A and B are shown apart, each in its own frame.
Chain A
Amino acid sequence: MSSSWNHTIHQLAAMIAARETNVERIVDSALQAITTHNPSLRAFTRVEEHAARRDARTADREIATGGHRGPLHGIPISIKDLIDISGVPTTAASRTSSSIPAKEDATVVSRLRAAGAIIIGKCNLHECAFGTTGESSSFGPTLHPLDQKRSPGGSSSGSAVSVVTGMAVASIGTDTGGSIRIPAAACGLVGLKPTFGEIPMRGVQPLAFSLDHVGPLTRCVTDARLVLHALRGPESPQEIRNTSTIAQRLGCPRPYFFEQLDDDVRTVIEQALNQLSDTGWQVRDTSIQHVHDAPAVCLPLILSEAAAIHDQRLTECPERYTEEVRLRLELGRYVRGVDYARAQRGRAVLARAVDDALADHDALVLPALAIAAPRLGTSEVYLNDEHVSLRALTLRMTQLFNATGHPAISIPCGHTPQGLPCGLQLVGARGRTDHLLDVAEACEQRLEPLLESTRDD
Chain B
Amino acid sequence: MTPEEWLAAAKADASRRGLPALHPLLDMLADAARQLQEASWMREAEQPPVAPTPSPTSPARDTSR
Contact = CB atoms under 8 A, between A and B. Distances in A.
Interface in B15-64: 19, 21-22, 25-26, 28-29, 31-33, 35-37, 39-42, 45
Interface string A286-327: 000010010111011001000000000000000000010001
Nearest to B28: A299
Contacts, number: 62
Contacts of B21: 323, 327
A327 B33 contact: no
Contact of A335 (B29, B35, B41, B45): B29
Contacts of A295: 32
B42 A345 contact: yes
Contact of A290 (B25, B26, B41, B45): B41
Main secondary structure of the interface of B (DSSP, over half): helix
Main SS at interface, chain A: helix
A346 B25 contact: no
Interface residues of A, number: 22
A349 B41 contact: yes
Interface stretch (A31-39, A238-246, A336-344): A336-344
B40 A339 contact: no
A359 interface: no
A9 B30 CA distance: 47
A327 B26 CA distance: 10
12 contacts: A295-B32, A296-B35, A300-B36, A327-B25, A328-B25, A331-B26, A334-B10, A334-B29, A336-B6, A336-B33, A342-B39, A342-B42
Contacts of B6: 336
Contact of B36 (A303, A330, A331, A339): A339
Contacts of B41: 290, 293, 345-346, 349
A330 B19 contact: yes
Nearest to A352: B41
A447 to B, nearest CB: 36
A327 B37 contact: no
Contacts of A331: 22, 25-26, 29
Interface residues of B, number: 22
Contacts of A345: 41-42, 45
Nearest to A339: B33
Nearest to B37: A342
A29 B38 CA distance: 57
Of all A-B residue pairs in the complex, the 7 with the closest CB atoms, nearest first, are A296-B35, A296-B32, A342-B36, A349-B41, A299-B32, A339-B33, A331-B25
Given A296-B39, A345-B45, A330 B22 contact: yes
Contacts of B26: 331, 334
A336 B31 CA distance: 13
A339 B32 contact: yes
Given A330-B22, A334-B26, A345-B45, A297 B36 contact: yes
Given A299-B29, A300-B32, A336-B6, A327 B42 contact: no
Given A331-B26, A342-B37, 9 more contacts: A295-B32, A296-B39, A300-B32, A331-B25, A334-B22, A336-B6, A342-B36, A342-B42, A346-B42
Contacts of B45: 345
B22 A303 contact: no
A349 B41 CA distance: 7
Nearest to A297: B36
Nearest to B9: A334
A331 B28 CA distance: 10
A345 B40 CA distance: 12
